[in-house]
Structure 1
């Protein structure tokens, strides 16, 4: 990792593809990152496929961009980030909670904005219920981007989907429908039981897979390509749905 005090007098040489039909996005990122770190960038364009292939052959590399600092080849954009001391993803098996954190944070912000618009204040219990409803909608949207991939990952742990495979295809639509109805306060006789059932089955599935069977799995809560570990976050999502279903039915029959 470089000392920032001496970085300003350093020069980096960057080779990147800049063609009429294609400008390499990682090359742009590398140039921006180097400049933000105080480097003077010798920006060298590879302006044709032939020029790019010749460069790769000359330096025995498979990809561009390529960054050189003080005559030493650093590598591509990820190698540059690692060279500058950043944590870089090491592979497909790496886990992260970032997608769930982003969805929950955005859901809460939207709930605050909605309640402020509707009631003139955020100091209302509806902030919590609208937050859960919005989160259900956004989580369903993630799953609906690729229902096939979601259903495949879902089959790894959901107890009902393993007995009835079609449930894995129905689940995202059911979650989204329940979320929209709860957000608008519509058809509580439908949204309540729907959230209660899918939340209850989901919670039971997570408890069995993670806390009883001790399996290490990825959660399908944010879609079929999720790197979120199955565990507490997944359980929380399902418990929230179950609680919303119970609350909706409780208010309906109160």
Structure 2
């Protein structure tokens, strides 16, 4: 085994070691800017958030960049608006992608409004079971809500469903009284449906109620009106919808 062969092998080993060192150095060099970039991005988002709060005196839930020229998505509770880096303006409305015709805002609103049904405190709700009760939905309702009463006409046509009603009195002073009377009734579901479907006044009753907790829960979930409907799939629908849509949502699979 000659000296030249040993020298050649040594050179090859040195070259491999040097290449490995260069690659390691390059990996380290390129890794650091990514961390710095993430820090810079986070700082920029926080800056946009502070600028919006200062300019418009609102509580900002979250800020994130969009795919559209220096436009940032700003979440205000359950709502979305758009602004630029310095919050020099706010755009309220639906952002539509010109190429795909996607309603980006509606998609994002559906995404951020999703709720894990299993986390809802269902013991705070009036429970109505129809048929085998296999399908489940939860509704925030005010006793004086006209659209809630209209929704109940649709609910009457459904089968194999359990409806959890969170009494959510926000429309009138006597909404609280009616909600309390319904909750304190011996047969909550019957008294509630008789009132909503037939106008039978809930009899006066007193007890400890979860009404205050329901109001706090509704605020947490950004419930801004009634009815607000939550399904096992995680989907949410605000306002009255016909039975066909209810059945469609109740049959939808998703997070439970």
Class of the TM-score when normalised by the shorter of the 2 chains:
under 0.3
Higher percent of residues as helix: 1
